[in-house]
């Protein structure tokens, strides 16, 4: 990921004077005329209609990005060809121009109106259609009534002329619509990522003792079909977890991010963890009510899992892990879209921010169990946070196995194969990441089946297998990670095959490691998506 410099300089939240808006309009008209002259084609012109003297925010810009992507998908899906396109990203607002071949101006106008009416925030979209002579195709020319006001049933132009509504009311309504729409869009996208991550874990072959597409490993009560049924129940949970984070109603103190980073630093014995770049301002946090909701959504997801599998636990650890991850990402997006969002200077800095929010979500989930009567039975069953093990301990530390082992190993494979594409490599990628995680995850499923001695014996075996005596250090995950990164595929597969026979013989399984594999896949995809959003903002002049 390239360096992302301070976002404040990129034309967000800057007041605009009337003469600047008039100049922007004149420049847009000039670009339209030039594009028609160059192509001889009808145009689609896209802007946002935002009242007031602030025309562009991170929230409006992200909405504009999503909607122009949707427009492009629609045009191509309907058989049109985008011959030329251009974008303007200035404090006067985002703009896009498309010269389109293959659809009539009537069809283009029909598409424009469909997109303008698609969701509540689409009311802010202005999609103008110009024919190849430069004439605008208006709603009125098609016998369609003008668009209504944001706050009432009157026409928008009538309310604007009469100043029927206050600026504060308009701004509040615009922000509400944009937040709802962006949350809906991003929650669907991250939920799809979570579905893919869980499916990826299932499809990776040669995972000792675990269910794959080929066999059931050391399990007599589940197979890939049971996994598929369970996975189909989780999409609404993924969306809900993200939205709980995005719409969090609590507010953390200004140093919460730095404190959480310190928790992660202490847990991982790191003394040089850089301060979180969000620590300078307050960040949204899960309130007690939010944590209640997230816990309950996890309960609902677990019950749906049991209903689909006939009472078999296929994904309990994954339900918890994915919920924490997605709620943390929801918090991240909400914070990033706030007016005072600051820079994200390096990939490691971005990862540390996400880790700190993971810790915050995990702490909130522990706290709500302690204080809420709703979870009194859960409290009896769970060890206190200071004695948490497995996925709870990992979450309270910021998922170090994923962030410090799984992600670097996965990224190394993608870097080496960037010129070849991903087709044909993902099974080998998954096996490599799984083996890397098997050496660092404290897998409670493995301990439950084989005992503590078995888990420690496995770790010793793996370290001795991959690391020479002069480099052996059980407290240095970097040496282990580099050994797996540098191994060839044949050596990885040989080690996994050896483990597979031992696991089957002793009926062992490593469900916690499987969850971490899915979590690595999810975290990798989401961090990549976040980077793309930040780079999109960076393109602003």
Question: Residue 26: is its pLDDT beyond 50?
Answer: yes
pLDDT confidence of residue 274 = 38
Do 95 and 196 fall into the same domain?
A: no
Q: Which two tokens stand for residue 484?
A: 């797996």
Burial 357-394 (b: 16+ CB within 10 A, else e): bbbbbbbbbbebbeebeebeeeeeeeeebeebebbbbb
Question: Residue 356: is its pLDDT beyond 80?
Answer: yes
Do 194 and 45 fall into the same domain?
A: no
pLDDT digits (tens, 9 = 90+) for 32-67: 999 999 999 999 999 999 988 999 999 999 999 999
pLDDT confidence of residue 415 = 84
Q: Of all helices (H) and strands (E), which one includes residue 130?
A: strand 125-130
Question: Residue 17: is its pLDDT beyond 50?
Answer: yes
Within 372-406, residue ranges assigned H as helices are 376-381, 390-396, 400
In DSSP notation, 431-447 reads HHHHHHHHTT---HHHH
Query: Is residue 71 very low, low, confident or very high in pLDDT (cuts 50, 70, 90)?
Result: very high
Do 67 and 212 fall into the same domain?
A: no
3-state secondary structure 51-113: CCCECCCHHHHHHHHHHHHHHHHHHHHCCCEEEEEEEEEECCEEEEEEEEECCCHHHHHHHHH
Residue 67, domain CATH: 3.30.70.60
Tell which of 165, 198, 229 closes a domain. Answer: 165
| Crossing angle between the packed helical segments 511-538 and 444-466, to the nearest 10 degrees | 80
Query: Is residue 386 very low, low, confident or very high in pLDDT (cuts 50, 70, 90)?
Result: low
Do 382 and 507 fall into the same domain?
A: yes
Phi-psi region of 84 (alpha: psi -120 to 50; beta: other; left: phi over 0): beta
Do 152 and 210 fall into the same domain?
A: no
Question: Residue 262: is its pLDDT beyond 60?
Answer: no
User: What is the mean predicted confidence (pLDDT) over 438-467?
Assistant: 92
Neighbours of 469 (CB within 10 A): 6
Do 67 and 133 fall into the same domain?
A: yes
Question: Residue 339: is its pLDDT beyond 90?
Answer: no
User: What is the mean predicted confidence (pLDDT) over 214-236?
Assistant: 95
Query: Is residue 541 very low, low, confident or very high in pLDDT (cuts 50, 70, 90)?
Result: very low
Percent of the chain with pLDDT over 70: 86
**Number of residues that make up the chain:** 541
- Of residues 7 and 415, which shows the higher confidence score? 415
Do 123 and 256 fall into the same domain?
A: no
**Smallest Cα–Cα separation from 288: which of 218, 364, 231?**
364
Reduced to 3 states, what is the DSSP secondary structure of residue 384?
Answer: coil
Tell which of 113, 137, 165 closes a domain. Answer: 165
**Smallest Cα–Cα separation from 70: which of 102, 103, 115, 104?**
115
Residue 414 belongs to a domain: yes
Q: Is residue 43 within 8 Å of residue 36, measured between CB atoms?
A: yes
Q: How many CA atoms lie within 13 A of 276 on its CB side?
A: 27
- Of residues 128 and 532, which shows the higher confidence score? 128
Find the range with the poorest average confidence among 177-186, 228-237, 340-349: 340-349
pLDDT confidence of residue 144 = 75
**Smallest Cα–Cα separation from 433: which of 528, 317, 515?**
515
pLDDT confidence of residue 162 = 80
pLDDT confidence of residue 146 = 72
The residue assigned the tokens 């399990």 is: 219
pTM score of the predicted model = 0.88
Q: Is residue 152 within 8 Å of residue 162, measured between CB atoms?
A: no
Q: Helix, strand, coil % (nearest 5) of the chain?
A: 65, 10, 30
Q: Is residue 230 within 8 Å of residue 308, measured between CB atoms?
A: yes
Tell which of 141, 165, 189 closes a domain. Answer: 165
Question: Residue 140: is its pLDDT beyond 90?
Answer: no
User: What is the mean predicted confidence (pLDDT) over 384-399?
Assistant: 84
- Of residues 438 and 252, which shows the higher confidence score? 438
Residue 170 belongs to a domain: no
User: What is the mean predicted confidence (pLDDT) over 6-15?
Assistant: 67
Residue 484 belongs to a domain: yes
Find the range with the poorest average confidence among 11-15, 111-115, 217-221: 11-15
Strand partners, 344: 4
Do 69 and 191 fall into the same domain?
A: no
pLDDT confidence of residue 344 = 52
Residue 51 belongs to a domain: yes
Instruction: Report d(CA 61, CA 59) in Å as an integer.
Output: 5
pLDDT confidence of residue 271 = 33
Find the range with the poorest average confidence among 188-197, 271-280, 399-408: 271-280
pLDDT confidence of residue 278 = 41
pLDDT confidence of residue 48 = 96
Do 137 and 268 fall into the same domain?
A: no
- How many domains in the chain? 2
Do 158 and 210 fall into the same domain?
A: no
Domain that holds residue 108: 7-165
Q: Is residue 322 within 8 Å of residue 240, measured between CB atoms?
A: no
Residue 2 belongs to a domain: no
Do 103 and 200 fall into the same domain?
A: no
First to last CA, the chain: 19
């Amino acid at each position: 990921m390239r360096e992302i410099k301070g976002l404040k300089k990129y034309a967000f939240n800057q007041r605009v004077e009337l003469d600047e808006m008039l100049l922007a309009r004149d420049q847009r008209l000039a670009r339209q005329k030039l594009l028609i002259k160059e192509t001889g084609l009808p145009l689609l012109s896209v802007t946002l209609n935002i009242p007031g003297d602030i025309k562009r925010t991170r929230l409006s810009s992200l909405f504009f990005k999503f909607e122009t992507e949707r427009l492009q998908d629609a045009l191509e899906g309907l058989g049109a060809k985008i011959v030329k396109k251009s974008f303007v990203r200035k404090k006067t607002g985002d703009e896009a121009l498309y010269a389109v071949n293959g659809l009539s101006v009537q069809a283009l106008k029909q598409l424009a109106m469909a997109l303008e009416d698609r969701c509540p925030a689409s009311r802010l979209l202005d999609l103008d259609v110009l024919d190849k002579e430069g004439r605008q195709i208006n709603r009125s020319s098609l016998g369609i009534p003008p668009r209504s006001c944001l706050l009432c049933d009157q026409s928008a132009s009538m309310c604007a002329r009469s100043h029927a509504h206050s600026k504060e009311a308009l701004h509040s309504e615009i922000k509400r619509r944009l937040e709802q729409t962006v949350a809906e869009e991003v929650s669907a996208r991250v939920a799809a990522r979570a579905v893919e991550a869980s499916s990826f874990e299932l499809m990776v072959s040669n995972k000792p003792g675990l269910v794959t597409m080929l066999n059931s490993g050391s399990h007599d009560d589940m197979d890939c079909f049971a996994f598929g049924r369970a996975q189909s129940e989780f999409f609404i949970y993924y969306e809900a977890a993200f939205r709980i984070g995005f719409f969090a109603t609590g507010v953390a103190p200004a140093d919460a991010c730095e404190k959480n980073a310190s928790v992660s630093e202490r847990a991982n014995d790191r003394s040089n963890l850089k301060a979180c770049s969000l620590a300078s301002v307050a960040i949204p946090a899960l309130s007690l009510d939010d944590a209640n909701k997230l816990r309950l959504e996890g309960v609902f997801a677990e019950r749906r899992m049991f209903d689909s599998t006939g009472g078999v636990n296929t994904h309990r650890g994954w339900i918890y892990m994915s919920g924490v991850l997605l709620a943390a990402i929801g918090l991240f997006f909400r914070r990033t879209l706030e007016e005072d969002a600051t820079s994200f200077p390096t990939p490691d800095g971005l990862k540390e921010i996400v880790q700190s929010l993971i810790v915050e979500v995990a702490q909130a989930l522990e706290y709500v169990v302690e204080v809420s009567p709703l979870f009194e039975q859960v409290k009896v069953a769970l060890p206190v946070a200071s004695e948490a093990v497995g996925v709870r301990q990992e979450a309270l530390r910021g998922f170090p196995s994923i962030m410090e082992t799984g992600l670097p190993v996965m990224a190394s494979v993608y870097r080496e194969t960037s010129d070849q594409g991903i087709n044909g490599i993902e099974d080998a990628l998954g096996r490599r990441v799984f083996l890397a995680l098997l050496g660092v995850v404290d897998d409670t499923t493995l301990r439950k089946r084989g005992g503590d001695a078995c888990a420690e014996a496995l770790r010793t075996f793996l370290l001795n297998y991959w690391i020479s005596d002069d480099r052996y250090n059980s407290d240095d995950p970097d040496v282990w990670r580099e050994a797996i990164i540098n191994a060839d595929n044949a050596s990885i597969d040989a080690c996994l095959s050896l483990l597979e026979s031992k696991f089957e013989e002793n009926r062992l399984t490593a469900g916690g490691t499987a969850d971490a594999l899915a979590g690595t896949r999810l975290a990798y995809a989401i961090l990549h998506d976040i980077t793309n959003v930040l780079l999109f903002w960076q393109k602003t002049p």
